[in-house]
Amino acid sequence: MKIARFSRIGFILAAAGSAVGLGNIWKFPYIAGEYGGGAFVLIYLLTVLLIGFSIMIAEMLIGYLGRRDTVTSFEELAPKHKPFWKLGGFQGLAGLFIMIFYSVVIGWIFNYIVTSLYFLPSSVKEAETIFTSMLHTDIMTQLIYHTLAFVLITYVLTKGIKGGIEKLNLFLMPTLMIILIGMFIYALTLDTFSQAVSFMFSADWSKIDSEAFVVAVGHAFFTLSLGMGAIMTYAASLEKDSNIVKSAFWVVFLDTTIAIVAGLMLFTFLYQYGSGPAKGPGLVFISLPAAFYEMGILGNIFAVLFFIALAFAGLTSSVSLVEPMVQYFIDRFNWNRLKASVAMGLFFYLFGIVALLSNIEGISAYLTWNEKNFFDWVDYITAAIMLPLGGLIMAVFVGFIIEKSRVEAVMRPQLKWAFEPWYFSLRYITPVAMLIVMLNLMGVVS
Ligand code: PHE
């Protein structure tokens, strides 16, 4: 089975494209708002630094050594108990599950690109009415744009690693960065910038309970695309002798920087033109458009550019969420790329419709359990449970299962003195941290 290889920059942009997603620009600001800013942001940053970075390297290493789809890579790298370890590869399913709501959100973004061209709501109240009526009553609009997202994503996947995924990222990622940097520079000139800084970085620990903790750690995994084999699948197409540590560094650096830049920019706008940090998934769809309105014509331009950047971020992540399972069916079942891409696409498309319907008035009640509807459940189970669990599997797999000599042969020359601390962290720090997260999750520790 032959796979086209990424170019060096292609790999970094694709992996960064996977990491930089709705998680950075849509989710991070609103959960930071929800859990009170500073302290929450700090837990997230510490997790990224202490755990995320080392798992990023571990995941890249599994892909790099395995060179195959996630399931086969796990199977081949495990010296014994292959059928058991092969299960680790099925973490790729988490990506398909994430896509169920991810694609619906990308649909909302498409809708906002189009409407922001000629219209912005004049108050938060109006913005809220518009957003909630789309969310709770407008099946048609959501369905049309969700379908568009499905078609675009599936199309890129049918073109493969080189002709589809790499090309997409080479164009979209730099464009996205230029848009965000441009808007960030504008935010820097506003007086409320310092308020945004203090909201994001001054820690109020009283706001942190066990739920906030789990969400912050879960988000660190989500935003770095860890724990489900996306990064691993891309790394399987790395050229031999690539520097894993450098690539991992760039991905973590870009992802974190973009989250912080986006957060500071959004909060500055919200302080300056709006009503301050808002809570909930509506932040960029409700408070932000109303703030853009206050900027006049510049606001329309900013709104369109902002939603385009958000759509780009979402699309480059989407292809990485689906690719692991596409590779799996190509590698293990000899499906051709077209068939595998369309089948996986249809999976998230159809369940995505269920997610979309679970927000619709009158239908929602049938798709809600324990106060969370289907849409929210998928989000919660994937980000808070499946990804940290996946991270644990990857850490244990590299730390204990693959022979140390194999790991060392590749990693010691790259990590040098940092090899032992990295290895130690995979063996002991990450598993313990993940265990604490799981216990918190079950409400045992609070
Ligand atoms: N990292 C992406 C984001 O921040 C989401 C993602 C998760 C992508 C897991 C791939 C794998 O939106």
Per-position DSSP letters for 417-444, written without gaps between them: GGHHHHHHIIIIIHHHHHHHHHHHHTTS
Tokens (6 digits) for 370: 């324990």
Distance CA 148, CA 107 (A): 7
What does the pLDDT profile of the chain (446 residues) look like in tens digits?
A: 455 789 889 999 999 999 999 999 989 998 888 888 889 999 999 999 989 999 999 999 999 999 999 999 999 999 999 989 999 889 999 999 999 999 999 999 999 999 999 999 999 899 999 999 999 999 999 999 999 999 999 999 999 999 999 999 999 999 999 999 999 999 999 999 999 999 999 888 887 888 888 888 889 989 999 999 999 999 999 988 889 999 999 999 999 999 999 999 999 999 998 777 766 778 899 989 999 999 999 999 999 999 999 999 999 999 999 999 999 999 999 999 999 999 999 999 999 999 999 999 999 889 988 888 898 889 888 877 888 889 999 999 999 999 999 999 999 999 999 999 999 999 999 999 888 887 777 664 44
Ligand 1 centroid – CA 183 distance (Å):
23
Ligand 1 centroid – CA 247 distance (Å):
17
Distance CA 175, CA 160 (A): 22
CB atoms within 10 A of CB 34: 18
Ligand 1 centroid – CA 20 distance (Å):
7
* pLDDT at site 446: 41
Pocket test for ligand 1, best of 48, 317, 322, 325 (most atoms within 8 A of CB): 317
Ligand 1 centroid – CA 102 distance (Å):
9
The answer to whether the beta carbons of residues 374 and 367 sit under 8 Å apart is yes
CB-ligand 1 contact for 382 (6 Å cutoff): no
Return the axis-axis angle of helices 430-441 and 210-223, rounded to nearest 10°.
130
CB-ligand 1 contact for 252 (6 Å cutoff): no
CB-ligand 1 contact for 95 (6 Å cutoff): yes
Ligand 1 centroid – CA 256 distance (Å):
13
The string of DSSP letters for 171-233 reads HHHHHHHHHHHHHHHHHHTSTTHHHHHHHHHS--GGG--HHHHHHHHHHHHHHTT-SSSHHHH
> Which of 177, 73, 85 lies closest to 400, judged by CA?
85
> What number does the ligand 1 atom closest to the CA of 223 have?
4
Amino acid sitting at position 235: A
> What number does the ligand 1 atom closest to the CA of 227 have?
9
The answer to whether the beta carbons of residues 388 and 227 sit under 8 Å apart is yes
Radius of gyration of the chain (CA): 21
Pocket test for ligand 1, best of 157, 225, 258, 319 (most atoms within 8 A of CB): 225
- Full set of structural domains in the chain with CATH: 8-441 (1.10.4160)
Residue nearest to atom 10 of ligand 1 (CA): 225
Per-residue pLDDT tens over the stretch 343-357: 999 999 999 999 999
Pocket test for ligand 1, best of 222, 223, 255 (most atoms within 8 A of CB): 222
CB-ligand 1 contact for 228 (6 Å cutoff): yes
* pLDDT at site 257: 96
The answer to whether the beta carbons of residues 317 and 20 sit under 8 Å apart is yes
CB-ligand 1 contact for 431 (6 Å cutoff): no
* pLDDT at site 215: 84
Distance CA 67, CA 84 (A): 19
> What number does the ligand 1 atom closest to the CA of 313 have?
12
Ligand 1 centroid – CA 192 distance (Å):
30
CB-ligand 1 contact for 57 (6 Å cutoff): no
* pLDDT at site 376: 87
Tokens (6 digits) for 419: 């090899």
CB-ligand 1 contact for 398 (6 Å cutoff): no
Pocket test for ligand 1, best of 24, 97, 173, 223 (most atoms within 8 A of CB): 223
Distance CA 203, CA 46 (A): 13
Distance CA 336, CA 148 (A): 23
Per-residue pLDDT tens over the stretch 129-183: 999 999 999 999 999 999 999 999 999 999 999 999 999 999 999 999 999 999 9
Sequence-distant (≥ 6) Cβ neighbours of residue 211 within 8 angstroms: 440
CB-ligand 1 contact for 321 (6 Å cutoff): yes
> What number does the ligand 1 atom closest to the CA of 22 have?
12
Query: Could you tell me the sign of the dihedral formed by the alpha carbons of 221, 222, 228, 233, in that order?
Result: negative
